[in-house]
Structure 1
Amino acid sequence: MKKSFILLFLSLALFSHQEKVVAQTLNASTAQELQDAIAEAKAGNEIVLQNGVWKDIQIKFYGEGTVDKPIILRAETPGKVSIEGVSNLKLGGKYLVVRDLHFKNGYTPSNSVIQFKINEDSIANHSRITNCVIDEFTQPNREVSDHWIEFWGRNNQLDHSSIVGKSNFGPTVRVFLKGNEHVNNHHQIVYNHFGPRPRKGGPHGETLQIGSSHTSMTPSYTNVSNNFFDRCNGEVEIISNKSNFNEYRNNIFFESEGSLVLRHGNYCTIDGNVFIGNDDSEFIGGIRVINTGHWITNNYFYKIKGNEFRSALAVMNGIPKSPLNRYNQVTDVVVAYNTYIDCKSPFQFGVGTNIDKKDVLPASEIRSARPERMLLANNLVYNHKEDQYPIVNYDDVGGVTFKNNILNSENKSGVTSDGISTKVFEVKQVSEDLYIPTKNQEDVFHGFDFETIKSDLFGADRQKQNSIGAISLPVSGNQVLVQKNLYGSKWFSTEASNYTPKTIAVSSAKSLISKLKNAHSGDILSLKSGVYKINTTLLIDKNITITSSDKDKKAELRFATGITGFEMHPKGILNLENISIKGDKTQDAIVTLDKNMSKAFNLFIKNTEISKFKSVIKAYKASFADTIAIDNSNIKDCLTGILLNTETDAKGDYNAEFVFITNSTFDQVQSSVLNYYRGGYDESTIGGNLVLKNNTFTNSGQADESGLLIQNHGIVNVIFSDNTFRDNPVKEIAILWGEKGQKPVNNVTENSGEIRIEQNLKQKLMY
């Protein structure tokens, strides 16, 4: 017995020793030590990166952990290890965990920043990225494509991470299904903070893409739940679903200019999501439906003001015998128990219909396949204003069945059904963005398989309390839709700094150059009246206002021969107010960098005179302005005007999202006053925005070969009103795109050619 006790003691001691070995920590302070630690690591080991900057490092993290004893790669202190420069991270093996890392001040040399694959022979499975941050880790050239996170393999997870500020070509996160080892993957994308993602100015700016058109009939089973999509404005698709059997549950889409798009693939579940818009943007969307078998339930939509592709529920017509990369017919889709509050037109059917465009598009492109066997039931629509149109149909909706849908306003559409009724009911506001009914609407429709819809938006049991709409009463607790502390990394914040801008007095050219260089973002440079002779280009890489201290006596910036006026850098914001800028026709007034414009710039010109320049604004290829606004300003005696025309390769990109030219005069601009170009056409993208209103154009355009004073080729949204065109020796003032509703309103033309409307503008389809 004593011998047995000794053996037991020795075995326990040995087991304890083995546990200590397995749980050992491997510290790394250099790239070589990290490489050695990864090679040495066993199941249960932790590899700890020393606090500090790890620059120009490509980490290949491989190993074989177990479900109970993963191999962990982590920061010494969460958020204190930054991966910078030309760097990336690849994982291969199983049960690997990476946490607490911060990717910033750099970009990846490969296709991805983090990739669940080292190569075809080393793929990650059962692995996890958690509590990490990728912050503006974007390519210097916006046209270079990459993905910040690539999912390969099976059963991998991204959670509690913050993914912010991607501005270059390519989805932020992409799930690949190329090969049997990557299908039926059951990946988890949960509790992350995505965004803000700035506008890209064209396609391929999705936040998530699950699959591709080529693998769209493949089962993925990816779960995207409990994430915060915060102002994800990259393009029209926030999420692009392109595979089967995926789930999108309990996500918040906050003021994101796009939609959750069921672009390809079938049998997805979209349940318990919240879509929050505002009164200022018609680009904020909800859910766009294509393909078969989706269930869209318990979702809440607030102030979604978009039309067609960006409506709260956009149901597309399909293309008969559609190729994989186009639009399949909507069939067997259920939309039930959703709530729509103050949405302009929540239900839109036949979106993308091209029936009357047979002279423009080939037969394969005509979307004549209407929804079939689609059910809308138990949906609640409430609008505080009577001017909303709950239902819009661009085509016949005979294949849609309506059951027990309640509106509080008149149904002004041509869609009538016993399943759509107007009823007096009230809602009350219980928190920001959240309205709930004051009384349950209990006359619910019990459809086939509706017993599988077990709970409402807030998890209440529908077997015990059931009501039309996403919310059943009583609502437990003080429900708040947006709780930012639930999402993303705990140690990282996207909140702006508390810096208070300063007004800085400037009295000489030398002082202007010096103080501009040393100013903080948001500062105002106030110039004393007089002439400032500038012999160097002024670089704008922050938010700067340049104005005159005496509004009645504008300060004049006079640039030396051949010296460019202002050079816009990534994230530069230039506000010019109440000043005069002069050249000698040998230089450009405002230009972008000719390369490495990794992020957007903004330009605001107000009460300003610009004269005697070769060009007023010149954007190089791959540069992008979020907004260019010229108001109450005078542009005169320049060789050419505003050049936003370098994206000519028919990929759908353009040089500026919003161009506002208002209350201004243009005189003696020899070539086109504006050349705003979008090459390549995908009708679902925003496609640029031009407002040309209340301006006067005289003696301009004589030297332009196109014979056009205003060129806006391919720009989708155009307001062209209240302008005066006098003595401009051009054949045509502009060509407007009639199909997009563009038309001149209240313009005056004298000796200046005509404003022509071309109904079906010829555009090269991107597909």
Structure 2
Amino acid sequence: MGDGYRGPIVLMNGVLNSPLNRYEQVKNVDIQNNTIINSGPISFGEGKDEEKTLAPINTNFSNNLIFNDKPGENILFIDDVSGITFNNNYLDAITPQVINGFDVTKISWKEIGSFPIPTASNKDLLVVTKNSNSFEKDINNSIREVFNAGSFNLDANNLPRALKLRSGPGWTPAIVAPIIKAEETTVEPGLETLRKAIDKASPGSVLNLKTGEYLLEKSIKVSKNITILGDKGGATIITASKNLEKPISYLFRVNEGVSLNISNAVLDGENSNLKYAIVSPDIKEGGLYNLFVDNIIFQNFTNKNGGSVFKAYNGTKADTLSFVNSRFENNYRGLNLSYDKDIMEQYNANNIIIDNTVFKNIEESAINYFRKTLSPEIPGGNLIINNSIFSNVYNDEKGKMIRAEGIGHVLISNSIFEDSYKVITPVSLKGSNNRIVNCLIHNSGFVKTSENAKKENLIYKNPKWEDNALFIPSDKSPLLKANNDIDNIGLKH
């Protein structure tokens, strides 16, 4: 994102009768077929002052592609540009500029690794200006059978070696990390025992909880890596204390730079009219954090004043939010990561993983994961849902059981959407990296896809439960691989 002399392409002014240690005038230069993505401005005549008075001459700037999803100018004319010829350059930017030789367009992208590549649908990029210096091969050294603007052939399937190389030395020292056994502490049930144990624990500690109630008078702010293990064979309940003079709004906050692992417990929101079970770091604390949840029941978080089981504050970002073998039941909302609605390309988690998990009786969306973007083809955000159940979720005509607007990569597989009778569209996916496969939808509308999103092997049938409380299918259920010939759908019992 450099600017001035540190911009992506900079043509500076020269010095009249320049000595050897100063700057000759830029002349006889051909600049073609570059792709510039999310960089600072390209500058022409940079450095103009009383000494540097000679603008570039006899220079060609053609067939270049500029993309920027951040506001601000992308082209700067510092001095006279009459000595520069501009032809068939293409600009796809938040801040469009009307400049001769720069055509405003909309680029369709696909992704190789983390790098965006223009697709073959970009017909504008075929309008070019060639000369004797135009490149016969693209940046991959592939023949340009059809000449187009930018550094890649359209729909290229490879990256140049420079983008694949790992920087650093070509050898790997054999470093054996010391094995440090995590400190383990058993925490008794009771009032404030859990919060006090976390405050005293060393980073990386494991806290073993027993069957019983762990009551909180204050919210727990987790500022170090901690693992909380409930009694797998019993009932560990974490909740707010009753009749608090100062009600708390959440049970846990995961601070930036921290990983919280929590397993085998019930988080109950009934007391204190709790708004949230777990929240992100505070507003605009930008450091990454992680939350790993296994075999947790989230129940009775019914506060309708913006409440949800999990909330991400605006300006925060998790690397990974993982919920496996868990159950969300009788809550107002599930996961809410939708507060950064005004900032382009801002989203609140790199990865959300939902595996073998139930969302039941959720008044609004089970998952609301949002990114404001020019195109879902631009990489950003990753939602993986597998072998999960969404039952009676957002049961309203306009309700979306899962919202993943603008998210670059979505994969929903082997999952069930049921008993949301009023819902018309339970899931709406956009973009070629959004897919829903091998799922069953019953009494919950119809899945919608657009802009090359994919839906495959969707079953609109009754699931035929043997036990609809535990979601165990009967022998004749279409959820079984034996009956659908693809894979088991629903929970992994």
TM-score (norm 2): 0.61
Tell me if the contact between 1:320 and 1:368 (Cα under 8 Å) persists in the aligned partners.
Answer: no
Q: What is residue 255 of structure 2 aligned with on the other side?
A: 569
Are 1:719 and 2:405 counterparts?
A: no
Deviations 1:38-91 (A, max 9, x none): xxxxxxxxxxxxxxxxxxxxxxxxxxxxxxxxxxxxxxxxxxxxxxxxxxxxxx
Q: What is residue 503 of structure 1 aligned with on the other side?
A: 184
**What is the identity, as a one-letter code, of the residue corresponding to 2:293?**
I
**What is the identity, as a one-letter code, of the residue corresponding to 1:570?**
E
The Cα shift of 1:751 comes to 0.6
2:207 to 515, 519, 525: 525
**What is the identity, as a one-letter code, of the residue corresponding to 1:607?**
N
Q: What is residue 513 of structure 1 aligned with on the other side?
A: 195
**What is the identity, as a one-letter code, of the residue corresponding to 1:618?**
K
Aligned equivalents of 1:695 and 1:683: distance in 2? Answer: 24
Deviations 1:104-148 (A, max 9, x none): xxxxxxxxxxxxxxxxxxxxxxxxxxxxxxxxxxxxxxxxxxx9x
Q: What is residue 448 of structure 2 aligned with on the other side?
A: 756
Deviations 1:351-370 (A, max 9, x none): 344337xxxxxxxxx43357
Give the RMSD, CA atoms, in angstroms.
4.7
The Cα shift of 1:734 comes to 0.8
- More contact order relative to length (CA 8 Å, sep ≥ 6): 2
The Cα shift of 1:598 comes to 2.9
Are 1:580 and 2:266 counterparts?
A: yes
Q: What is residue 670 of structure 1 aligned with on the other side?
A: 363
1:351 to 113, 118, 133: 118
1:639 to 332, 354, 374: 332
Aligned length: 357
Aligned equivalents of 2:7 and 2:41: distance in 1? Answer: 13
The Cα shift of 1:714 comes to 0.6
TM-score (norm 1): 0.40
2:145 to 372, 378, 397: 397
Aligned equivalents of 2:362 and 2:438: distance in 1? Answer: 23
Assess, with a 3 A threshold, how the Cα gap between structure 1 residues 685 and 543 changes in structure 2: closer, same or farther. farther
Aligned equivalents of 2:313 and 2:145: distance in 1? Answer: 46
Tell me if the contact between 1:434 and 1:480 (Cα under 8 Å) persists in the aligned partners.
Answer: no
What is the 5 A alignment of 1:99-114?
Answer: none
**What is the identity, as a one-letter code, of the residue corresponding to 1:740?**
S
Assess, with a 3 A threshold, how the Cα gap between structure 1 residues 599 and 695 changes in structure 2: closer, same or farther. same
What is the 5 A alignment of 1:327-366?
Answer: 351-355=118-122, 366=124
Assess, with a 3 A threshold, how the Cα gap between structure 1 residues 598 and 687 changes in structure 2: closer, same or farther. closer
Are 1:697 and 2:390 counterparts?
A: yes
Are 1:374 and 2:135 counterparts?
A: yes
Aligned equivalents of 1:630 and 1:502: distance in 2? Answer: 25
Are 1:541 and 2:185 counterparts?
A: no
The Cα shift of 1:744 comes to 2.0
Tell me if the contact between 1:354 and 1:367 (Cα under 8 Å) persists in the aligned partners.
Answer: no
Tell me if the contact between 2:384 and 2:411 (Cα under 8 Å) persists in the aligned partners.
Answer: yes
Q: What is residue 289 of structure 2 aligned with on the other side?
A: 601
The Cα shift of 1:576 comes to 1.1
Aligned equivalents of 1:379 and 1:642: distance in 2? Answer: 42
The Cα shift of 1:322 comes to 2.1
Tell me if the contact between 1:652 and 1:682 (Cα under 8 Å) persists in the aligned partners.
Answer: no
Tell me if the contact between 2:262 and 2:293 (Cα under 8 Å) persists in the aligned partners.
Answer: yes
1:215 to 19, 26, 43: 43
Q: Find the residue that maps to 1:620 and give its secondary structure.
A: coil
Assess, with a 3 A threshold, how the Cα gap between structure 1 residues 553 and 752 changes in structure 2: closer, same or farther. same
Assess, with a 3 A threshold, how the Cα gap between structure 1 residues 688 and 496 changes in structure 2: closer, same or farther. farther
Q: Find the residue that maps to 1:580 and give its secondary structure.
A: strand
Aligned equivalents of 2:347 and 2:329: distance in 1? Answer: 26
Assess, with a 3 A threshold, how the Cα gap between structure 1 residues 481 and 546 changes in structure 2: closer, same or farther. same
Aligned equivalents of 2:389 and 2:194: distance in 1? Answer: 32
The Cα shift of 1:570 comes to 1.3
Aligned equivalents of 1:379 and 1:322: distance in 2? Answer: 21
Assess, with a 3 A threshold, how the Cα gap between structure 1 residues 685 and 541 changes in structure 2: closer, same or farther. farther
Tell me if the contact between 1:526 and 1:546 (Cα under 8 Å) persists in the aligned partners.
Answer: yes
Tell me if the contact between 2:221 and 2:253 (Cα under 8 Å) persists in the aligned partners.
Answer: yes
Tell me if the contact between 1:371 and 1:397 (Cα under 8 Å) persists in the aligned partners.
Answer: no
Tell me if the contact between 2:325 and 2:355 (Cα under 8 Å) persists in the aligned partners.
Answer: yes
Tell me if the contact between 1:624 and 1:654 (Cα under 8 Å) persists in the aligned partners.
Answer: yes
The Cα shift of 1:733 comes to 0.7
1:589 to 255, 277, 281: 277
2:90 to 322, 341, 347: 322
Aligned equivalents of 1:151 and 1:322: distance in 2? Answer: 20
2:298 to 607, 610, 616: 610
Deviations 1:443-499 (A, max 9, x none): xxxxxxxxxxxxxx9xxxxxxxxxxxxxxxxxxxxx951579xxxxxxxxxx99976
Assess, with a 3 A threshold, how the Cα gap between structure 1 residues 353 and 637 changes in structure 2: closer, same or farther. same
Aligned equivalents of 1:320 and 1:377: distance in 2? Answer: 17
The Cα shift of 1:516 comes to 0.4
Aligned equivalents of 1:414 and 1:617: distance in 2? Answer: 40
Are 1:654 and 2:422 counterparts?
A: no
Aligned equivalents of 2:44 and 2:427: distance in 1? Answer: 42
Assess, with a 3 A threshold, how the Cα gap between structure 1 residues 753 and 644 changes in structure 2: closer, same or farther. same
Q: Find the residue that maps to 1:578 and give its secondary structure.
A: strand
The Cα shift of 1:588 comes to 0.8
1:680 to 347, 359, 373: 373
What is the 5 A alignment of 1:471-490?
Answer: 481-482=170-171
Unaligned runs of 5+ in 1: 1-146, 154-172, 187-204, 221-261, 266-318, 330-343, 357-365, 381-390, 401-412, 416-432, 436-456, 458-478, 485-494, 762-767
Assess, with a 3 A threshold, how the Cα gap between structure 1 residues 503 and 214 changes in structure 2: closer, same or farther. same
**What is the identity, as a one-letter code, of the residue corresponding to 2:394?**
G
Tell me if the contact between 1:213 and 1:324 (Cα under 8 Å) persists in the aligned partners.
Answer: no
Identity of paired residues, percent?
A: 23
Aligned equivalents of 1:529 and 1:414: distance in 2? Answer: 58
Tell me if the contact between 2:359 and 2:389 (Cα under 8 Å) persists in the aligned partners.
Answer: yes
What is the 5 A alignment of 1:46-445?
Answer: 212-215=40-43, 320-323=88-91, 351-355=118-122, 366-369=124-127, 373-375=134-136, 397-399=145-147
Deviations 1:363-413 (A, max 9, x none): xxx433579743559999xxxxxxxxxx8x9xx73449xxxxxxxxxxxx9
Unaligned runs of 5+ in 2: 23-36, 49-63, 68-86, 103-110, 149-154, 158-163, 454-493
Assess, with a 3 A threshold, how the Cα gap between structure 1 residues 483 and 216 changes in structure 2: closer, same or farther. farther
Aligned equivalents of 1:659 and 1:754: distance in 2? Answer: 24
